[in-house]
Chains A and B, each alone.
Chain A
């Protein structure tokens, strides 16, 4: 059921002749209830796939927006277990939208790879991205995920040269995430023209669809990337809406203002991605 959901979604996008919109949100940000309302609202707002971050205290590849999102979530007590519970709740209403978990190695080591793979699959997780677990360290995790038919999604980057790329795409399925800039999330801006040849290289090396993320904040930028990639990932810009809502309003749960802000932002990005190939640059 799991890999199948990612493959089915990319096949449908291909049939429609458009790129997918992948929205990233942090579990438990700003609180469990609001985050679940956001998660449940994302498909209607136009998210074709959803990445759900599970918070970690020391997220070394994140820029300030997602670092702060993780801190907010941890302060409200979000855990990996709570993250899987939120995904299970989402799955009660939505059997089609692929969910990709994204985070860092240590909470998975703590859980145990086998138990984590089993529980993630049961919750309805389709793929997992572990930012600080490169192929060299991933065999035991990949074995565990394979046993439950959950994809281990790999990151290709501007530093993935022709020698490195085959290593990166080994033992992967679903899609490949191309990190469009050398850097942390949400700081540098992605350049669609510079990204295009890399997307082609990664597609060729992996035989899989390529989603592009890091540094895509505006509908314009998302549309530009949507013309060259199979999917566009936006994270920090959505997380910024959570921060803005929290800063602007009272600390209430659920925070409907935060939910509205995030889903409105997601809608504008999704519209731009959906229309990109119909409207020439």
Chain B
């Protein structure tokens, strides 16, 4: 009945009711914000000024930015990053499953591996791999391969194993957390439908665990990209090593460090964008609607702008 009353109150002709008068009040002035903004800008300007006045030959950076040696070094940095992460992710999944298994032997071994590789600095591990010739003079895989350790353990392999095996320990903990985050009811439901352990893991648990695993893994990739600079100590000619070498011969050592930093920053920025889209992919079903991509956001903003202008234009 109240509905009827409301209808008649709205006016028979259907003219929209006059909107209530909007509040026009003097907003609170945040003087503290003005002051802190001015101080921050002043400090920033001082730093920029100091660098521009320093004895740094900024012109050397663009000269060498696309130097062949730099590009090759960057390629090697990327190669090591990708391969070491691959070893880390595969090893990490393996270790996480071992750690969660009911077999006490495998879970203890996984625990010990993680304890050891997380507990020692990666720089030390790298150098140890390089010098393992003291323990194993030869590497002998029967009829397939036989060589002296120092020939077998090239800088490339050292870098790969050192970084990859260390990364596996961290990835194991990330994967384990992801697997544990999936509700037990999911496993039960899959088992109740007659799915095997491995199918349940692959089809039901892992896809949901990925939502938890992907963001920290993205961090690990970015970390790995930067950590590759450590392998310069085992004579592997990646970006940082190349920058140092060019710096020594060209007489612009500091400038080349800035150049390396710029490249690292560029690469990590690209990875961050990739991470965003990957996270979005694995968010399927977890929220009612997916967050828009940056492109969609821009498009939506443009549309709402044009809509607003057209409606205001109509009103005026």
Q: Are A and B physically bound partners?
A: no
